[in-house]
Each structure stands twice: as C-alpha cells, then as structure tokens.
Amino acid sequence: MLTVEKIGGTSMSALKNVIDNIIYFGRSGDSLYNRVMVVSAFSGVTNLLLEDKKTGKPGVYHRIVKQEDFHRPLQELVAKLKSLNQQYVDLGLDLAVADSFIEQHVASAQRYLENLAGILASGYVSREGILQAAREILASIGETHSAFNLTNILKNKGLNARLVDLSGFDDTRPFTIDQRIKDAFSQIDLKTCLCIATGYAKGTEGIMREFDRGYSEVTFSKIAEILKPAEAIIHKEYHLSTADPGLVGVENVQPVGYTNYDIADQLADVGMEAIHPKASKPLEINGINLRIKNTFEPAHPGTLITREYISSSKRVEVITGIDKLVLIDVYDPLMVGNVGTDFQIMQLFFNHGISYTFKTTSANSISIAIWEADFKQELIDDLQKSYEKVTVEPVAMVCLLGTNMDQPGLLAKAAAALANSNINIVSAGFAMRKVNIQFLIAREHFKTAIIELNKAVGKAD
C-alpha cells in the first residue's frame, strides 16, 4: 500500500536512524518501494538560511533585507553543509558528488539573489515581492541538500531511490504548487521505486507566503492529497504523548494511541503541533489517516489520527498548554445589552492581524488571550480609545483535551487539583463539545499545573 511519509529535521540529522528505522525497518525487496519520503532540511540549516525559529537570530535572508553583503554568510553556509556531508560518508554518501552538488546549487541561488538584490536596490519595485522571492529561494536550499544526500546514500546501497526535487530551481514553467507536484510524479512508477521528495515546493503562489516555516508539512499534505495514499505518516523525534515528559517525567506519560483531527487542531492552537493545521485539513477532508511515529522507536505503532475516531470511554487524552500568552481584558459599563460590542472589538484585532487563543465574556467585559509574540501596543491604544478600561496581564494556559471527555465532575476534579496546589484560576472556558477545557493561570504556576492535572486526570490509555 502506498504511503506518503514526512521526516522532520531533527530526525534527518540522525540519518543512520532514518535509514535503519524508517527506510529498512521491517521491510525488504519490493516492500521497500511504493513510498514517498518528504524530507525536511537537516536540523538548524533553515535557521541559518532564514532566521532561528526560536530565538529570531538572523540568517542570510536578513542580510538581504538590510541590503548588506550576503556572499560571505552564503559561503559559510556552503562550508557548513559540506561539513554535514562528511558526517554521512560512513553511511555511503559519495562525498565528492554531494559537495559538488551543493556548491553548484548554492552558486545558482547566489546568482538569483544577486539579481533580486540589484532590483531591490533600484527602488523601482515593491520590497515585499522581492524579499518574498529571496525567502523562497533560500528556504529551498536546505531541503534540496538533505533530499539529495539521502537519495545518493540509498542508491549506493542498491535501492531504486529517486530524487523528486520540487524546488524548481532551473524550471521556469509557471506551475502552481499542485501542478508542480502532479507533473513531478506523473511519469513515476511508485510501485518500483522509493521517492525522496523535497519538503520545499516551488509554486507561483509562493508556499512561504501563507505557510512560512510550516511549508514542509504543507508540501507533504499536498503530495498526499494528490497521490491518495493508504496512510500518511509523520516521523518525529518523540511520541505524541498524554503530557510533556520533560515536565511530568517520562514515567508519568504514555503515547496517545488514537485521536482525531479535531484534537490535532486543538494541539496546534497551543503550539503543540502534531501537524500544521493548514496541512491537516486536506488530509482530513480527503479521509486520509495520519500516523505520528517516533523515529527512534520504530516498532511502536505511534498515534493514529483519523476523522472519525471517538474514544469508547470517557477520558482525557492529552494535557498540554502554553506559558507565553497575554490576557487582554476590555471593560466598559455600557457593554451590557449593547449589540455589536464583541464584533467591534474583534474588528480591531482583525485590523492589527492578531488572532486569539481564548475568549470569555461577562456583562461588562470581554477577556481575550493572544500569543505574547503577537502583542502590539497599537492594539491596546486603539482599544483604550473606545472602552473605559483595558487591562493586560501575562498568563499561561493549561488544557485538557479529548475526543470523549464530557463526564460529570471532570471540571471540578481539575479545578480542585489546581486549588490544592494554591494555583488561582484567572479564567476558564470550554465550548459545548467539550473537546478542550482551558484554564488561564499565572505563568509561574505553569509547570506545577501540568504536573498536578496529569496526576489528577491524566495518563489515558
């Protein structure tokens, strides 16, 4: 049965484990084929090209933004990629071929970037479009490098491995992303080969324009949507677990066996992505099941995410949260009974391009939680112009997630667990379907809250 599989950057850096635990594990002969592997760049490479995803430390891209010389950091990148190549010689990588490939590839990218920089310096065109193109070109380098290396190693091991380079570097055809994917796979007999596809895909719409650093999962999702595999699989460096083992201890969690796409969306909403939400929708709509597997435990079946799954027993499946939220409370005594106040407030959030994670209301106030990184003082200034009092408070959120957890006493049990640890609930809420029960608390209590909730209601089967 055809599978489309995504391999994350951290897993790719452990390339021996990828080969042993993903490519070959439990397979031989023809069973090695009829698979498409969509690969991320090796860990840290895209950070060097664009910016560090966690710290924001600038990469090559920001030299172009500031109209500074980018040639030296680009050559430093080549040296870094060639040093990575050396690490995989023992796995069968042809070092001379791999080094030559990346040198030529980056040289081509440099020519494109020089042209863009020249146009940018002229002042005749919009910066946005030029910088977006530069970002796309740079992003594609990482996935092309890792896909080429893995394909070369597998070929040298005797497999019929085929590189599917979706970066379109020297292809001037004005394809959309979907058209490029369809064209790339149109002449491939999937049953007789193992395809290694780049996680970056070039298209006229620009994959990073909408998805930015989530682009590799979007490529994976689009390939699956087009090829209609029996199953889509994401290989990560960890299990999707009932709680964060780093917070509560590995002995106090277990992998989530089954859940549904609704819970995957809830996880993404608090930054714990099983899959990028815009990548999950095509899979969900087309009824393609998604499996999350741990690269380093290949015998474990992982987590199966389906459209239909509902737990047969009432239970909490995942306890998670985020400690980097800001709660904005808008108070006005004229709010009560006034039709449209909520809409007017939301219109201001929309105008500033800010989405919220949590919202609750009373007669005269509306409390809205947003990501700290999205906070803008300009939004607060606009709110203060129209409403009597606007309060801003840093908070954390802890969540109980489950496909079937509508049970009497769960809310009381969870609240009691927090109260017994002297954790005050700033706000709380859940929708009628009760797939996500949310508590807002002080940030300093975040870790304790996760631990205590896991003791009280966690560790689902």
pLDDT for 123 equals 81
Question: Tens digit of pLDDT for each residue in 254-276?
Answer: 999 999 999 999 998 887 767 88
Backbone angles phi, psi at 186, to 5 degrees: -65, -30
Q: Residue 144's Cα: distance from chain center in Å?
A: 19
Q: What is the model's pTM?
A: 0.90
pLDDT at residue 252 is higher than 80: yes
- The SS3 of residue 273 is coil
The structural architecture, per CATH, of the domain 318-457 is 2-Layer Sandwich (3.30)
- Give the percent of the chain with pLDDT over 90: 85
Fold match, 3-237 / 318-457 = no
Which residues, other chains included, contact 418 with Cβ-Cβ below 8 Å and sequence gap of 6+? 425, 439, 441, 449, 452, 453
pLDDT for 459 equals 60
Q: Taking the domains of the chain in order of start, what are their residue ranges?
A: 3-237, 318-457
Question: Tens digit of pLDDT for each residue in 368-419?
Answer: 999 999 999 999 999 999 999 999 999 999 999 999 999 899 999 999 999 9
Nearest to 425 by CA among 452, 456, 398: 398
**Residue 324: pLDDT band with limits 50, 70, 90:** very high
pLDDT for 15 equals 96
Nearest to 167 by CA among 183, 149, 143, 192: 143
pLDDT at residue 322 is higher than 50: yes
Domain 3-237 class, CATH top level? alpha beta
pLDDT for 272 equals 75
Question: Tens digit of pLDDT for each residue in 163-205?
Answer: 999 999 888 899 999 999 999 999 999 999 999 999 999 999 9
**Residue 461: pLDDT band with limits 50, 70, 90:** very low
